[in-house]
Structure 1
Amino acid sequence: MFSFRTMQASDIPAVMSIQEQVYAPQLHEEEAVIRARLAACPQQAWVAEDADGVCAYLFAYPSRLGQVTPLDGDFQPLAEADCLYLHDLAVASRAAGRGIGPALVRHKLQRAGAAKLRYSALVSVQDSQGFWSRLGFEPEEKLSAPQASNLASYRIPAVYMVRSLDTLASA
Structure 2
Amino acid sequence: MQERDIPAVLSIQQEAYSPQLQEDEAVIRARLAACPQLAWVAEDAEGVCAYLFAYHSRVGKVTPLDGEFQRHEQADCLYLHDLAVAPRAGGRGIGPALVRKKLEQARAHRLRYSALVSVQDSEAFWSRLGYAAHTQLDQPQVSNLASYRIPAVYMVQALH
The verdict on a shared fold, with TM-score over 0.5 as the criterion, is yes
Aligned with 1:21 (options 2, 15, 22): 15
Q: Deviations over 1:80-107 (max 9, x none)?
A: 1000000000000100000000000000
Confirm or deny that 1:150 pairs with 2:144.
yes
TM-score, L = length of structure 2: 0.99
Q: Percent identity?
A: 74
Distance 2:44 2:92 in 1: 11
Q: Which runs of 4+ in 1 moved over 4 A?
A: none
Aligned to 1:123: 117
Partner of 1:65: 59
Partner of 2:93: 99
**Does the CA-based 8 Å contact 1:40-1:76 persist in structure 2?**
no
> In the alignment, is residue 41 of structure 1 matched against residue 35 of structure 2?
yes
Query: 1:79 Cα shift?
Result: 2.6
2:82, 2:22 → 1: CA distance?
A: 11
Cα displacement (A) at 1:52? 1.0
Q: Which runs of 5+ in 2 are unaligned?
A: none
The residue aligned with 1:3 is: none
Give the number of aligned pairs: 160
Superposed CA RMSD in Å reads: 0.5
**How much has 1:77 moved relative to structure 2?**
2.1
Q: 2:5 aligns with which of 6, 11, 23?
A: 11
Deviations along 1:112-161, one digit per CA (max 9) or x if unpaired, are 00000000000000000000000000000000000000000000000000
SS in 2 for 1:123: strand
- The answer to whether residue 126 in structure 2 is matched with residue 132 in structure 1 is yes
